[in-house]
A and B are shown apart, each in its own frame.
Chain A
Amino acid sequence: MRVAAIIVLSLASHLAQAESSFDLSVDARAIAVDAPTSYLYGGLGKLRFDDDHDGIQVGRVNAAWSQPIGETFQARVDASLWRFGDDNAFDLTEAYLEYRPYPANGWRSRLKVGAFYAPISLENREAGWTNPYLVTSSAINTWVGEELRTIGAEYSLGWLGTRTGHPFDAEFVAGVYGWNDPAGVLVATRGWAMHDRQTTLFGEVGEAGNGPVPGRTLFKEIDDRAGYYAGVSLKYLDRAELRVLHYDNNADSEAFDAGINDFAWLTKFDSVGLRVETANGWTFISQWLGGDTAAEPETGYEKWDFYSMFALVSKAFGPHRFSLRGDWFDMEHVVTSWPPAETDDGSAWTAGYSFDYGEHWRFSVEALEISSDTTKRAWIGEPPRATEQQLQLQVRYSF
């Protein structure tokens, strides 16, 4: 008993030494939108908001906690609320333990265990996996935030060339994970989307039993097979970063989970992205992601191809930032036993301005237009072609 008390006391004093940090932010929006019913509410609109969900809305309430443990471990938990009334309204987006041993002779290993984002996005680089350039993420990274999470372990080995007189750093990364078997279902059955809502670890996407996205669960182990990804990042000083990643969730596409009424979707893709920054405040980001997903119900093998790319240009003038992004996306049901094959292709333009007032406030305005041809809209009695427009004002306070 006394020994236990001593251990607890010494652990507590150790934790107190390596102080934890707690961050909280509240993001409110004013939305004007001209778009069909959102996929979140039974439709096939590609936005978070629609004609019935506009005006003053919750953007996000985000709380993040980091706790150093000992010299080289750190725990991080990130939780968010996207809308009052969601089941598990306040839920986790990431929770992991990271081991960062000290670099030795120019090399460094890192190990992450828990639930976290794979290193795919080059635009979602702000705390909470937020996009600092535009409120709305690209179609690619909207999808990453919706369907992907590494729930497992990731190892990376970095060569710290810039610490040994070279202008380059390089990193190899590999992840092994489970609980991501449904990944692919949204892009296949709904198509691409554009917003900033990330799927929480215990949350669902869409309303149960309503429309093409009937309350999908994304993070579930169905086939007891681990997936993997492997990638490389190459950096030139702090000016440019190239990321390449191959992802394969290795799902058994015949496996079905009655509990969530969904298959294990065999999803594979490659992603290539480049970010370049200049000394006078310009940022250029471009990313391409393409792959396929398959499910195998008793009626036969079904396969969907998908790809998207975007190009973003942003210019900062002190606390002011102007950004413009073009997105192009395509999904095609290429092998099907229920013809005609569904397709979703389109493009989008997003233009935004943000102003950081001091350390705590951000004010943003963003205009977005998505034009898409989504054959599945016929299922819900809508014309396949739709142009969605959204204007949003954001006020965010970070504590």
Chain B
Amino acid sequence: MAAGGSLDVHVVAHDGKAVVGAVVMLHGPAGSPPAKPGAFVVDQVDKVFQPDLTVMPVGSTVTFPNSDKVSHQVYSFSPTRKFQLPLYRGTPYPPMKFDMAGIVTLGCNIHDDMIAYLVVTDAAWFGRTGKDGIWTSAELPAGNYRAEIWHPRLREDPPVIETKVALDASRAGRIEVALSKSLRPEPLDARPKSWSDY
């Protein structure tokens, strides 16, 4: 296999504007080594999950500290991983391992406006599009690739967009994904701490 091919993935909204922060998961030719698992942290600060989206290889671990003064109760009922962390502050629970690929939507059972995503992937290469709507990967072996594209505010059906591309070492590959529908509105900035549910 020749090495050194590169691939640009452009994600463009239906109005032609760049889609920032779209998750790109690139599955390579048979035999591509999977990405190495890592240790990730999703903190809770001012009643907001930080970061609000984490992409991680299958087998990675996540710690969910709570840096707020108020207690949180983190849950997911996504089929990829169902769990709940009873009311807590600080970091009382050990890291959790995510060993199945898929999307995990996190919530807090006390503060319904809190929402975040974990994207657990078995792709060998992954990342998120930058301000220009582009994600670039270099040093790719030649062969057939399948790219999955997802964004939490996507309205497409099915929600994960799949596309295929063949790469050879001689020229840069390019995938352009144009969304057929506008994105949903972005979440509002954190509300003041003193706000409550009534």
Assembled-state Cα–Cα distance A259/B139 (Å): 86
Q: How far is the CB of A100 from chain B (nearest CB, A)?
A: 5
State which of B70, B89, B115, B198 has its C-beta within 8 Å of the C-beta of A119.
B198
A104 touching B192 by the CB < 8 A rule?
no
Q: Does B75 sit at the interface, judged by CB under 8 A?
A: yes
Cα A230 to Cα B78 in complex, Å, equals: 30
Shortest C-beta distance, B90 to chain A (Å), equals: 9
Interface membership of B52, Cβ < 8 A: no
Given that A21-B70, A100-B110, A129-B198 are contacting pairs, would A239 and B84 also be in contact in the complex, using a CB cutoff of 8 Å? no
Told that A71-B87, A356-B192 touch, could you supply 11 new A-B pairs with CB distance under 8 A?
Answer: A19-B89, A102-B109, A124-B198, A125-B196, A126-B196, A132-B194, A163-B105, A164-B105, A237-B185, A238-B113, A359-B193
Partner of B69 from A21, A100, A279 at Cβ < 8 Å: A21
Count, chain B residues at interface, CB 8 A: 33
Q: Whole-angstrom distance from the CB of B13 to the nearest CB of chain A?
A: 16
Bound CA span A163–B88, Å: 21
Would you give the shortest CB distance from B103 to chain A, in whole angstroms?
8
A228-253: CB near B (< 8 Å → 1, else 0) gives 00000000011100000000000000
In the assembled complex, which residues on chain B have CB atoms less than 8 Å from the CB atom of A277?
A: 188
A interface, CB within 8 angstroms of B: 18-19, 21, 68, 71-72, 74, 100, 102-106, 108, 117, 119, 121, 124-127, 129, 132, 160, 162-165, 167, 169, 237-239, 277, 279, 356, 359, 398
A-B pairs, 5 with minimum CB distance = A71-B86, A68-B87, A102-B84, A163-B105, A127-B194
Q: Are B185 and A239 interface neighbours, CB within 8 A?
A: yes
Residue of A68, A279, A398 near B188 (CB, 8 A) is A279
Of A102, A106, A117, A279, most buried by chain B (CB within 10 Å of CB) is A102
With A127-B194, A132-B195, A279-B186 as known contacts, state yes or no: A162 contacts B115, CB within 8 Å: yes
Interface residues of B, Cβ cutoff 8 Å to A: 69-71, 73, 75, 77-78, 84, 86-89, 105, 107, 109-110, 112-113, 115, 159, 184-189, 192-198
For the complex, give the distance between the alpha carbons of A129 and B196 in Å: 8
Interface centre among B69, B185, B186, B194 (most CB of A within 10 A): B194
Whether B187 contacts A237 by the Cβ 8 Å rule is: yes
Chain B residues near A21: list those with CB within 8 A: 69-71
SS class, residues of chain A in contact with chain B? loop
Q: Which residues of A contact B73 (CB under 8 A)?
A: 71, 100, 102
In the complex, A135→B47 CA distance in Å?
24
Q: What are 19 contact pairs spanning A and B, CB under 8 A?
A: A18-B71, A18-B87, A19-B71, A72-B86, A102-B73, A102-B109, A121-B198, A124-B198, A125-B195, A126-B194, A126-B196, A129-B198, A163-B78, A163-B107, A165-B105, A237-B187, A238-B113, A279-B188, A279-B189
